[in-house]
Every structure is written in structure tokens, then in C-alpha cells.
Structure 1
Amino acid sequence: MASTCPFETKNTMKATSISDNEWDKIIPISPQLKSVKYGNNRQLILMSYISFYHLIAVGLFASLFLPTIITGVLSLIFLIYPLVKQILRCYNYLPTPYEKEVIRTTVTARCDGDFVVFLIGSRPNGPNPLATSFKNVGTAFQSMVAELEADPTLGYMGGDMYVGMNPRKSSFLHVQYWRSYEALQKWTHTRLSLHVKVMMDYRKKEQYEGTYGIWHETYKVRDGEYETIYGNMPPIGLALATQAVEDTKLNNGPGRMERRKKEKEVENNMNTSTK
């Protein structure tokens, strides 16, 4: 089976099939964007505990110990600096953050063959944001992703990390795309993998103390049984993990769903005619 997954081929410009509507025009994606470390903030864990009330309180408390003139100057700086930057961006004197990564057209994702979507999340259950156990699981998680990104043969195609806004649910979520369910299972159960070591530590202590919660869901997606659309967006989701191709027909969900099916029929007919 031909593969169009850059984490396997390391070639985002190669198309292997024939179809319509710019299906073979692969849009190159910066390798930097494919790393989960891109834009990752190591202090995200504190966001689960810090509110606007904390920030206001810190500012008011600091003003009690600073001369009035210094408090006034600092207030103006923190007010004027972001305001001026925003005005300059409106008049194109400054670039919008990450503007260069935006694909200025409508695209869809292309991944030949079955794949797996794996969701994994975590949240702190205790009152201490600096609890050693929760910091350890964060470090272990980053190490596991680094291991996966360093070895394309493991079957991990890519993913991205998100921060939840509902404190009742998961605080952090990582969406992962895998070449197959077998590859995912093989890595998670390999005796010397980081995942096995993390789970052993979890079962020894955290499973019973519950300092943090952890969850995951796995979905098998059959070849062609998915549909994606991205309009004026940076590479994201399945398109980031595999390949992005142009698709200017916005209201064409059924067409995108059927395109891979038609493509496979063409491939099968070509294979049959050559025998």
C-alpha cells in the first residue's frame, strides 16, 4: 500500500495517486510545526490554578510597596505596550503572530490507508499545582512524545496538544494520529518503552492516591471514511499529521468522503489492467 504520511516517507511533496480537484497538489508543511514542542508552554500546569483574581490581587499588593510614580509608569507600560502593538498590526506595520503558517486557501487532509486517532488527557485532582507526582507525569509525557517523534518506524504520525477550559473535565489533551492500532499497541506494551515505566509508577502509587487523573480513547478509522476541511488555517489536525491538499469546494463533505473510494477504484482498475 502506498503511503502519503510524511512521518514515514519524510517527503511532503510526493503524491502517489490520481484524482480530481487538486488532490495531487501536496502543500508543504514546515517540519517545525510537526513537533508537539512547537508553541508548548512548560508552565501550562499553573493555568489550571491561576485566575484573573490572582493576577489582580498580585498587582494591587505590589502597588502597596512601590512609589506612586513607579506604579503609574508600570501601569502605562502594561497598558500601552500591547495596545500599540495591536494598532501597528492593524495597519500592517507589524506581522500578526504565526501569520506565516496560515495556508491562504481551503485544504483537506489526505492519508492513504487506515489510521488510528488516539486521545489522551490528564488533569490535577489535588490543590497543589507543584505536586511532584503531577510534574513527573508531565515530564514523562513530554519524554514519550519525544521518543515517538524521533523514530518514525514506531507508527506515530503526529499530533497536537490542547488546554481545556472546563475545570470539571480534562485540563490537558493530546490528539495523536497513528498508522495502525497494532503499532500503537506494540509501542505501549514494549517492555523497555517509556510508556511501560510510566504506567508501572502510576499503578504503584497514583492509581490509589489520585493526585492526578488520566484517560484515553482510541478510534480506528478505515481508509477513506473520514472528512476534513480547513479554511485559512495553519496546518492542524490530520492534515498536519499526514498531508494537506487543496480543496476549494467548501460545501463538499460527501465529495471529500467519497474521493478516496473513487481513487482506490482507479488504482484497482489500473492494477487489473496491468496484469
Structure 2
Amino acid sequence: MSAQPIPERVTAAADGEVVVFLIGMRINSWRAVRHWLPALRAMPRMLKELARDKDSGLLGHQLLAGGPRDRTVIQYWESREKLLAYAADANKEHRPAWAAFNRRARGSEGKVGIWHETYVVPAGSYESIYSGMPAQGLGKAFGVEPVARRGERAAQRFASAGGEARA
């Protein structure tokens, strides 16, 4: 069941620093199922584990399909420290999945690719608006509030979040 659109204009109710983690994979050879299927299955297990642990630091995520070969997950984290702690914890899903991927990758000759990028976005360096949409991105991770509380224009929303007014 899909989420219902929010008819009015809203903005993310985020305050302070935001950590955005992008992670993705690309299937380079459909025939190499033993290389890409375990990687494809690992992410949902990690996301379920993180969702069950309210102290994990994961605030929300969004799945993107960039075509039949590409999958991307945008994640919003409470802090860089919590993201790194999860990645390093040998008792959580990530470490064993990463070790298994590396073992398979040694002989895979690039049959599956993975990537990630992490951004620590200071307070006042982001703004958002959603109109006629279900909660997305930051709004889904932090909740939403009426645009008027932070400003009708992007420059006002930046300024209300502690940043300099920008067009």
C-alpha cells in the first residue's frame, strides 16, 4: 500500500546536522547470480535490523531503482558516529555481509559493483519542500511541518534553519 499524498505544501521538520548515506549496487553480469544475489539480499536484512533497533541511529531510508541493473538506498542518520558504529559492529548484519561480498569479489572480475557516499550536512545547509507528495527523503525521516513555519521561499527556509539566506 502506498502512502497518501499530503495535499498542502510542507517541509522537513529536521533541525541540526543531517547525515546522508547513499549506497548502491550495479549488476554488471546477469549470469553471475552467485556474485550479485547475496549483495542484493543483504541490504533489506540490514534495513530491517536497523528499523528494529530504535537506538541504531537510522532515521529513515528510501529505495531507488535506477534501471534494471542499479539499486540505490538513500539513508538518513542521526550522526556519523552511529553510522560508523553500525558499519563496524561484528554482531550486526553489515560486517558479515561486507566480508562475504569481498570474498566473492576477489574472483568476480567486476560482475557486480557497489558504491557508497556519505555526506555530513551542517545545520542551515539544507532545505526542502514537498507538495502533493507522500512524505519523502528528509520529510519521511524527520517528519514534516507546514512550509509557513520555516518560510515560503527556499532562501527563507535556509535562513530559518540557521544558514545564510540563499536564492
Q: Please, what TM-score do these two structures have when normalized by structure 2?
A: 0.88
Give the aligned partner of residue 151 of structure 1. 53
User: Does residue 259 of structure 1 match 2:153?
Assistant: no
Q: Give the drift of 1:261.
A: 2.1
User: Does residue 105 of structure 1 match 2:28?
Assistant: no
1:242 to 142, 145, 148: 142
1:125 to 14, 20, 28: 28
Secondary structure in structure 1 of the residue aligned to 2:101:
helix
Q: Which has the larger radius of gyration?
A: 1
Show the 5 A alignment for 1:179-190: 179-190=78-89
1:85-128 Cα distance to aligned partner (Å, 9 max, x none): xxxxxxxxxxxxx4x61001101012122120000000111132
1:11-36 Cα distance to aligned partner (Å, 9 max, x none): xxxxxxxxxxxxxxxxxxxxxxxxxx
User: Does residue 172 of structure 1 match 2:42?
Assistant: no
| Cα 1:207–1:117 shift into 2, 3 Å | farther
In structure 1, distance between residues paired with 2:142 and 2:106: 35
Give the aligned partner of residue 102 of structure 2. 203
CA contact (8 A) 1:106 1:246 kept: yes
In structure 1, distance between residues paired with 2:62 and 2:6: 18
In structure 2, distance between residues paired with 1:127 and 1:143: 22
Larger proportion of helix: 1
CA contact (8 A) 1:106 1:250 kept: no
With CA pairs under 8 Å and 6+ residues apart, which has the higher RCO, 1 or 2?
A: 2
In structure 2, distance between residues paired with 1:147 and 1:237: 20
In structure 1, distance between residues paired with 2:93 and 2:18: 23
Larger proportion of strand: 2
User: Does residue 136 of structure 1 match 2:38?
Assistant: yes
1:131-169 Cα distance to aligned partner (Å, 9 max, x none): 13322112111100101111110100011101103x7xx
Secondary structure in structure 2 of the residue aligned to 1:107:
strand
Q: Name stretches of at least 5 consecutive residues in structure 2 with no aligned partner.
A: none
In structure 2, distance between residues paired with 1:260 and 1:201: 42
In structure 2, distance between residues paired with 1:101 and 1:208: 45
1:213 to 91, 110, 113: 113
Aligned residues: 161
Q: Give the drift of 1:208.
A: 4.0
When the two chains are superposed, the root-mean-square deviation of aligned CA atoms in Å is: 2.1
1:116 to 7, 13, 19: 19
Give the aligned partner of residue 74 of structure 1. none
In structure 1, distance between residues paired with 2:106 and 2:97: 12
Q: Give the drift of 1:223.
A: 1.7
| Cα 1:113–1:250 shift into 2, 3 Å | closer
CA contact (8 A) 2:10 2:144 kept: yes
Q: Percent identity?
A: 31
